[in-house]
A and B are shown apart, each in its own frame.
Chain A
Amino acid sequence: MKIKTLYWLVTAVIPIAVFLLGALPSSAQAPQACQYVLGNLLPPTPENQDALRVQINSFVNIPEQEQCLWQLLNKDGALTNDRQNATVRAAVQKAFETQKNVTTTQTGSAPGSGGATSAVSKPSTPMSAATEFGGISASTNAQTLTLQTPLDGIPRALASHGMIPYCSTPVMAVTLDGKCVSNRLLSKLDRIGLGVSLNTSSTSKTASGTATGTSQGTTQQVSLTSLGTKVPSFAGVFVKITAIKGNAKVKLPDPSKVVAKPEAAAAAALLGDLAVNKNYSAWQDCLRTKLAAVPAAQRAAVFTEYYSQIVDVLFWNLPMDCTATPKVSKASEAINPSTLPASQRAFLDHLETWLASAELVQANFDQVLTETAASPLLSVEYDYNTPQNQPSNSTFKLVGSFSLGQAVAPPAASSTGSSSAPTKPWTFTGNAGLSIYNYTPASTIPNASLLRDVQVGTEIDRSIASSKWPSILGKIGDSTASLTYYFQYQSSPSILNVTPGSPFNGITITGLPSTATQIFAQKGEIHVAQLKWGLGKGKNVKFPIAVTYSNRTELITHPAWGLQFGVSYDLSVFMGTGSSK
């Protein structure tokens, strides 16, 4: 008999009990945003009476509980797509606008690559493509194409298309129950930037020819063959890791810099919708009574039984049932936004508008909070360079940058098409690094060692607002003027790989022995001064143009003037995350 009882207990009673317990309302069923509010209500003691009344009033006032309501409505993410795109696009665009405007981002290739227009590296990596002509310490000019992106670039782009859920703020993370790519994660990924440079001035531009046929007086037919490759060659790759970010010290931003009125307008619209709903008043009255009367431990049950009826009241036109009897409820059913009557569709629109507004306010708040454009940044950079006809080398560099001055948004931002993200006017950047050959140079080269050179550089950038000289700069837009000094001590002579009888681009050497495979120049100190003007600040297309003077180049021991220019394009535009400016 006892064994039979135990058998029934195990096979039937316990499973049924577990099932029923699982079906019972529990605090775990309250959405996360609602739980947060519930959990912060004061204990119902006599001294808390007045304060608790104010708290309960807030909790039953839907224009103050949009997150909670939306989580109640968004069963299994049914409404997520209804609001995701517009919200995300706007928030992500903010991030990219900031990135475009700052003077701490590298617009082109690393200085070690052949065609670089910049003598020093910048700590941040934008999602961009840049083609440049120049070269800082190289003896011959080259043209390069550089593609670069921070690691968060692709996830941000996917999120902007609604392909992955995105929560740029804690508010949104709660709303989506944490099932989204968070701003925290993206900020970590943003610390790593990758770039690859291709040499587009390849040796195919050099050709060799052989006379064919017979001479026709002063003319002669020849057969020409291009030398070297016909496709862009690999020039280098770089990895940049941000060690210190600008938001290390957190303090509340100036409230006047955050645009928050759209959120208030959306809340007012919800208030207007609810003012004409009598069932809503009944729901509020019921909840005030119930929540004030129960001990704190029973609030979750009150929530499940009564608070969740807000979905019935607002979307299923059911009256509020404040009795203890079993309810007729459709609260567990998913809302189909496409079949809602006009008034309920309007309410849902207002709710989603509030959520989008709150998201933008938070994005704006975070943007001003971090002031990425103005804070110190320190990055560690590794460049793998394969200069044309030279042994490959690796450069290890510390890159620091900080901005000074009052951060202001361009006053004529909308009319000029410039970004409205505020930036500080002065930016100082410093580099210190060393470069090594990837292979030990031949012992026959005097004074050659693995260490190729040590280098330091500094750059001062000054933002120039077009509004200051509208008659001159009005058509050009905002820009940046930069002054750069770069020093390189060559501890080993520069080495060139040669093939006797095969000339290479830009350099002609006579009297070379047929056995020579490498030539080297005289080592020494290189001092470079550069004046640069960066057009297109805050826009998708940037045009850096620079004039450089150096006392010598890597190979030539005489002073040289150089001209560098380039075009950098913000690739986020193609990802749907940037503005079309």
Chain B
Amino acid sequence: MPPKSKGKSNPPPAAPAAAGVPGPGGASGGGTGPCKLTPMGGDGNAFQMPATSMPVSIALSTPDGKSEFLSVSIFKHSDLTNPLPNPPTPSATSFTLNLPALIGDSYVVIMVVGSLPSAKPVWITEACSGATKLDWIATPVNTTGEFALTVI
């Protein structure tokens, strides 16, 4: 018997949508829950997490409050041409991923950040007690961030 829906339904694994749940506005890096993302290997910005632990909240940690998320796009690593439908709508400093398991492939999460000219570089972290660092964007020169996510 399938679990009861709570108002959101995950798409089938064959055609996953980048279902996003708007995160709480105003977050800036930290969170209180346990961290769900674990680095894959020693190198690269690749992480993994079980589908059963979804959703996961991602935060923008900005030291001066002069940067914000503008958009989040999610691709399958095997198809970097077509973004998945229904990507998360970010608030200024957070967004939430709710992705199904993807066998033999991984997701690529691409974030675009907007900054004031005097902004300092920002961190992308998981919004959890350990604030796992996922990426670093040297704003305002660089404005795109990216990490890979394997959902098992």
Contacts and interface: CB of A to CB of B under 8 A. Distances in A.
Interface string B132-151: 01111110111111100000
Contacts of A51: 123, 133, 136
Given A54-B135, A54-B136, A252 B114 contact: yes
Given A263-B143, A264-B144, A54 B108 contact: no
Interface stretch (B6-14, B28-36, B51-59, B65-73): B65-73
A250 interface: yes
Given A170-B140, A255-B68, A268-B80, A260 B43 contact: no
Contacts of B83: 261, 264-265, 268
A255 B114 contact: yes
Contact of B141 (A55, A57, A67, A369): A67
Interface string B78-119: 001101000001111000000000000000101110101100
Interface stretch (A233-241, A358-366, A404-412): A358-366
Given A50-B133, A361-B143, A267 B70 contact: no
A470 interface: no
A275 B70 CA distance: 26
B73 A268 contact: yes
Interface in A45-89: 50-51, 53-55, 57-58, 61, 63-68
B143 A362 contact: yes
A307 to B, nearest CB: 14
Contact of B142 (A37, A272, A365): A37
Nearest to A266: B144
A303 B92 CA distance: 34
A186 interface: no
Contacts of A170: 117, 140
A180 interface: no
B9 to A, nearest CB: 24
B44 interface: yes
Nearest to B87: A261
Nearest to A36: B141
A64 B70 contact: no
Contact of A252 (B43, B68, B73, B117): B68
Contacts of B137: 58, 64
Interface in A252-285: 252-253, 255-256, 258, 260-261, 263-265, 267-269, 271-272, 275, 284-285
Nearest to B72: A264
A258 to B, nearest CB: 5
Contacts of B70: 255, 258, 260, 361, 365
A252 B116 contact: yes
Contacts of B72: 264
A263 B110 CA distance: 9
A256 B70 CA distance: 7
A252 B26 CA distance: 12
Contacts of B134: 54
B75 A268 contact: yes
Contact of A171 (B68, B110, B123, B141): B141
Given A58-B136, A61-B45, A255-B70, A171 B116 contact: no
A40 B122 CA distance: 11
Contacts of B20: none
A33 B141 contact: yes
B142 A67 contact: yes
B23 interface: no
Nearest to A50: B133
Nearest to A58: B136
Most buried by B among A51, A261, A267: A267
Contacts of A40: 120-121, 138
B147 to A, nearest CB: 9
A464 interface: no
Contacts of B121: 40
Nearest to A365: B114
B92 A255 contact: yes
B146 A267 contact: yes
A334 B68 CA distance: 36
A288 interface: yes
Given A37-B138, A65-B142, A358-B144, 11 more contacts: A64-B142, A68-B141, A250-B116, A252-B92, A258-B71, A260-B71, A263-B71, A263-B112, A268-B80, A269-B80, A362-B114
27 contacts: A36-B138, A57-B44, A58-B142, A58-B145, A61-B45, A64-B135, A64-B142, A64-B145, A65-B142, A66-B142, A66-B144, A252-B66, A255-B69, A258-B114, A260-B70, A260-B112, A261-B71, A263-B143, A264-B83, A265-B73, A265-B83, A268-B108, A268-B110, A271-B108, A284-B43, A288-B43, A365-B114
Interface of A: 33, 36-37, 40, 50-51, 53-55, 57-58, 61, 63-68, 170-171, 174, 250, 252-253, 255-256, 258, 260-261, 263-265, 267-269, 271-272, 275, 284-285, 288, 354, 358, 361-362, 365, 369
Please give me the 6 A-B residue pairs with the lowest Cβ-Cβ distance, nearest first.
A260-B70, A264-B73, A272-B80, A260-B71, A260-B112, A264-B110
